[in-house]
Amino acid sequence: MLALQIDPQDPRPVYKQVVDEVQRSVAVGILKPGDSLPAVRGLARHLKVNANTVQHAYHTLEREGTVYVKRGIGTFIAAAPHDREVKGRRASVARQLADRMLREGYRQGILASDLMAALEEIAPGNPRSSGS
């Protein structure tokens, strides 16, 4: 089963969280062109949401060109988009992650500058990171 994460505390609608998670998985290479997505009902059961919510997410992904549907067979990841589209998706995913990180940081009383400093410190390739 695709490891989608739905956060009940996230202000985004659940269908949008599903869309964003699938797009993130494509952008980072977890899902590749031709890979199939779980059946609507199966994913809905797994996420404990209404099947119409997952169906809405899949329709949105299809409209955006991320997936295509083979009637009676399933929903599949579309062919790799052009480089410009990939960069745009990565930038979009980065903004979404940053937004979530900022919201959570603010809830914990952490400033954006503190979060950025922590990211710089732990980023791979940074001489100050512990992984070097």
Q: What is the mean predicted confidence (pLDDT) over 21-28?
A: 88
Please give the residue that has the higher pLDDT: either 129 or 23: 23
User: Is 130 within the bounds of a domain?
Assistant: no
Residue 20 and residue 48 share a domain: yes
Q: Give, in order, the Cα–Cα distances in Å from 97 to each of 20, 45, 116.
A: 10, 26, 13
In a domain, 129, yes or no: no
Domain membership flag for residue 115: yes
Total domains in the chain come to: 2
pLDDT of residue 96: 82
Tell me the HSE value of 94 on the side-chain side, using a 13 A CA sphere: 7
Residue 115 vs residues 11, 24, 49, 103, 129: alpha-carbon distances, Å: 21, 21, 32, 11, 14
Domain hosting 62: range is 14-77
Question: What is the model's pTM?
Answer: 0.65
CA–CA separation, 38 vs 42, rounded Å?
Answer: 6
Mean of the per-residue pLDDT values of the chain: 86
Residues 37 and 70 in one domain: yes
Q: What CATH number has the domain bearing residue 19?
A: 1.10.10.10
The closest of 44, 63, 54, 49 to 18, measured between CA atoms, is 54
Question: How far is Cα 19 from Cα 7, in angstroms, rounded to an integer?
Answer: 13
Give yes or no: residues 30 and 57 share one domain.
yes
> For 81, phi and psi rounded to 5 degrees?
-75, 170
| One domain, residues 72 and 18 | yes
Which amino acid belongs to residue 109?
A: G
Residue matched to tokens 């599903």: 18
